[in-house]
Amino acid sequence: MNKVTHKIQRSRAFLTVFLKEVKENLRDRRTLISAFLTGPLLGPVLFVMLINITLNRELDKAEKPLPVPVIGAQYAPNLVDALKAGGVVPGAAVADPEQAVRKQEADVVLRIAANYGKAWRKGEPVQVELFYDSSQRDANTSVERVTQLVEGYARQQGALRLVARGLSPSTAWPLQVARRDQATPQSRAVLMFAMLPYFFVITIFMGGMYLAIDLTAGERERQSLEPLFANPVPRWKILCGKLAAICTFSTASLLITLLAFAVVGQFIPAEKLGMELDLGVHFAAHVLLLMLPLVLLLSALQSMVAAFAKSYREAQTYLSLLMLVPIIPSAVLSFMPIKAQAWMYAVPLLGQNLGIMQLLRGDGVSAEQVGLCLAGSMVAAVVAVLATIQLYRSERLAISV
Amino acid sequence: MIEVRDLHKAFGTVKAVDGVSFTARDGEITGLLGPNGAGKTTTLRMLYTLMAPDRGQVLVDGIDAAVDPLGVRRQLGVLPDARGLYKRLTARENIDYFARLHGLPENLLKSRRDALIDALEMADIADRRTEGFSQGQRVKTAIARALVHDPRNVILDEPTNGLDVMATRALRQFMARLKAEGRCVLFSSHIMQEVAALCDRIVVIAHGRVVADESPDALRAQTGENNLEDAFVKIIGSDEGLAA
């Protein structure tokens, strides 16, 4: 061979590896399903289901007639009428209210004492009891409604008594709280969408996972890594071709999921909850930009972790563990909301998380934040790629067991 | 031509290769014979630069493997101990992949690949995906992709392992053909009949060292044994690991 063919070969090796990996993996049904179906669509579907269930439940509870077993309804007909006006349907008395609530036969049970009428006429304070189980989150709306109706009735009657004695009702309530909620429709949505960034990360992860496993553990298990390394191509070029194939698949996954969210976003009845949701082109383009360095970072991390595994199965186990790592920023941010500092944008995963939440909130991201996010993640990605190249140079890597 | 000078390689405290030297010449078949675990595969791996020797030198057509490993790999066609194929690619695509990694121009690639498919009599399987190939079909594909760039030097690690009688026969004929084309053929084996039948030169390795480097006839004369099997046992010092 002469020098000229060597030149040709240098520029072609990367492309050759890349094209072969893409072709081979396009023929693998498991990879295709994971990268283009379950990975990218799981998030949007789960999301819509979750939101619809939550929405319908909230809306139902607020409007629907609410059946409440009332014990001793005959002692307080006026109170029961007031409850009826508020949408409560008084039910037959139950023998054991504690038991009924615990067994979830009723969300809430109201008990009116037998001396209600007598005490009321004397103007003495009387007690009504509400039985409920606060660990049943499902029942909380019902409890809240009944409580408000009873308290409203009490306040109303109290005011009437004051007026009857010639006093202004305001003497009894010297202080009034006026609530001024500063939440915008978008920011209310954010609470519900806190896990959205994680869905994007998972999608990238699933898109490239099988390729990453195949890259080292798979090649080694089927004993093709040694012959591959006998070719006159530096190992780092082979690795780069493979990383490019992983990135291509995970980027395709991300695009599919963004598209799916954009479509699905049309059907989320967000306005019913007083939210505003924009998952359209503007949102998708920004997410894609923020996520690009993560695509490279994750592909290198996946390859690195898979390279330590002796077999395909072992690599799968390691990677499923690695998949849990990106949950951390999402979980931390949703459980203890922290005020974003500038440096946080430079932290991979955390930066993307903050950026996407801001986009959802409708605040938009500044050029500085995007810059920090891209730079921080890109540095991490380059370090991960270099570390993987180093790992790829080890003698033991190529030897099939 | 492949020249090996005083190769050493240790894994931890185990000296896998402990001072191996020999020369494999063009137009000859050189056999690397030794029991299992003698250091044959490790020696060959250092030849095709998968591993770096702790000490010693490898020259392929005068190119030093330590100085220019890519240059050495360009001169070599290698059938390693591991001969896995890409099962979702056809035999032809497997061969083409390696040809492109060697930088073969497309027109040359086609003619070389088709010539090898002819020579190895694998036209009937060339367009099938390699998943489910028999051992013989797999070895043929692996040899074709190893030789597609027309290398002067051919290294085969236990090429007949797992092959049936017919496939073994065909492979031996193919090796004789490579020799006739003037190539340097170096192969390892633990089967003495095979080495005796094929080789111009036999390098016997035991415990990581070369214990004999002769022609088959000289080997018989040196040990005073007429039977090659007895000659080998005498050289190695035991018949452990030598299959008939």
- ipTM, two decimals: 0.91
Q: Does position A4 have pLDDT exceeding 50, yes or no?
A: no
Q: Which residue has the tokens 């009688």?
A: B165
Q: Which of A363, A368, A56, A51 is nearest to A196 (CA)?
A: A51
Give CA–CA dist A10/A12, Å, rounded.
5
Confirm if A315 and A215 have CB atoms less than 8 A apart: no
- Which long-range CB contacts under 8 A does A276-281 form with residues at least 24 apart? A276/A184, A276/A185, A276/A186, A276/A189, A276/A362, A277/A186, A277/A189, A277/A193, A277/A360, A278/A186, A278/A362
Q: Which of B226, B235, B216, B220 is nearest to B28 (CA)?
A: B216
CA-based R_g, chain B, Å:
18
pLDDT value of residue A191: 61
* Residue of chain A nearest B51, judged by CA positions: A395
Confirm if A264 and A245 have CB atoms less than 8 A apart: no
Give CA–CA dist B21/B10, Å, rounded.
16
Q: Does position B146 have pLDDT exceeding 90, yes or no?
A: yes
Mutate to test the interface with A, among B42, B101, B141, B152 (most CBs of A within 10 A): B101
Residues 205-234 on A with a CB inside 8 Å of B are: 219, 222-234
B67 three-class SS = coil
Give CA–CA dist A389/A249, Å, rounded.
20
Read off the pLDDT of residues B97-133 as tens digits, 9 standing for 90 and up. 999 999 999 999 999 999 999 999 999 999 999 999 9
pLDDT value of residue A295: 95
- The residues on B that touch A, with CB distances below 8 Å, are 48, 50-52, 70-71, 73-74, 76, 78-89, 93, 97-98, 100-105, 142, 145-146
Read off the pLDDT of residues A327-353 as tens digits, 9 standing for 90 and up. 887 777 767 667 778 888 999 988 998
Sequential DSSP letters for A36-56: IIIHHHHHHHHHHHHHHHHHH
E strands, B109-200, are: 153-157, 184-189
- Which long-range CB contacts under 8 A does A130-136 form with residues at least 24 apart? A131/A97, A131/A98, A131/A100, A131/A101, A132/A101, A132/A107, A132/A108, A133/A101, A133/A102, A133/A104, A136/A104, A136/A107
Q: Which of A300, A209, A214 is nearest to B89 (CA)?
A: A214
Mean pLDDT of B146-175: 91
Structure tokens given for A361: 């909130």
- Taking an 8 Å cut-off on Cβ atoms, the answer to whether B89 and A23 are in contact is yes
Structure tokens given for B48: 């095709």
Q: Which amino acid is at A45?
A: V
What is the CB neighbour count within 10 angstroms for residue A264? 18
What angle in degrees, to the nearest 10, is found between the helix axes of B91-101 and A3-26?
Answer: 140
E strands, chain B, are: 2-11, 14-24, 29-33, 55-60, 63-64, 76-79, 153-157, 184-189, 201-206, 209-214
A215's CB contacts (< 8 A; 6+ apart) are: A239, A242, A246, A303, A306, A307
Burial readout A66-85 (b: 16 or more C-beta within 10 A, e: otherwise): bebbbbbbebbeebbebbee
Q: Does position A113 have pLDDT exceeding 60, yes or no?
A: yes
First to last CA, chain B: 30
pLDDT band at A2 (very low <50, low <70, confident <90, very high): very low
Q: Does position A251 have pLDDT exceeding 60, yes or no?
A: yes
Structure tokens given for A57: 């439940």
Read off the pLDDT of residues A358-378 as tens digits, 9 standing for 90 and up. 888 777 888 999 999 999 999
DSSP A341: P
What angle in degrees, to the nearest 10, is found between the helix axes of A235-265 and A196-213?
Answer: 150
Q: Which of A261, A323, A253, A250 is nearest to A40 (CA)?
A: A253
Higher pLDDT, A61 or A138: A138
Structure tokens given for A259: 């598209």
pTM of this structure = 0.80
Read off the pLDDT of residues A66-94 as tens digits, 9 standing for 90 and up. 888 999 888 888 888 888 888 888 888 88
φ/ψ bin of B51: left (φ > 0), alpha (ψ from -120 to 50), beta (otherwise): beta
Confirm if A374 and A218 have CB atoms less than 8 A apart: no
Give the distance from residue A226's alpha carbon to the nearest chain B alpha carbon, in angstroms.
6
Structure tokens given for A299: 């592909």
Q: Which chain A positions have a beta carbon within 8 Å of B81's beta carbon?
A: 226, 400
Q: Which residue has the tokens 């005083």?
A: B6
- Return the minimum-mean-pLDDT range out of A183-187, A389-393, B1-5, B206-210: A183-187
- Return the minimum-mean-pLDDT range out of A80-89, A175-184, B85-94: A175-184
CA neighbours closer than 13 Å in the CB half-sphere of residue A83: 24
Q: Measured between CB atoms, does A29 come within 8 Å of chain B?
A: no
Give CA–CA dist A142/A68, Å, rounded.
9
Q: Point out which residues pair with A66 in neighbouring strands.
A: A88
Give the distance from residue A376's alpha carbon to the nearest chain B alpha carbon, in angstroms.
35
Q: Which of B161, B162, B160, B179 is nearest to B171 (CA)?
A: B160
Angle at A109 between CA A104 and CA A114, to 5 degrees: 150
pLDDT band at B244 (very low <50, low <70, confident <90, very high): very low
Mutate to test the interface with A, among B75, B86, B152, B158 (most CBs of A within 10 A): B86
| Cα distances (angstroms) measured from residue A31 to each of A34, A163, A246, B85, B225 | 5, 76, 11, 19, 60
φ/ψ bin of B121: left (φ > 0), alpha (ψ from -120 to 50), beta (otherwise): left
Confirm if A292 and A376 have CB atoms less than 8 A apart: no
φ/ψ bin of B207: left (φ > 0), alpha (ψ from -120 to 50), beta (otherwise): left
Q: Measured between CB atoms, does A177 come within 8 Å of chain B?
A: no
| Sign of the torsion angle spanned by Cα atoms A200, A206, A207, A211 | positive
Percentage, residues of chain B above pLDDT 90: 70
**How many CB pairs below 8 A link A and B?**
93
B204 three-class SS = strand
Judge residue B124's burial from the number of C-beta atoms within 10 Å of its C-beta, 0-12 exposed, 13-18 middle, 19 or more buried: exposed
- Taking an 8 Å cut-off on Cβ atoms, the answer to whether B78 and A227 are in contact is yes
Q: Which amino acid is at B240?
A: E
pLDDT value of residue A292: 94
Structure tokens given for B193: 């009949």
- Taking an 8 Å cut-off on Cβ atoms, the answer to whether A232 and B73 are in contact is yes
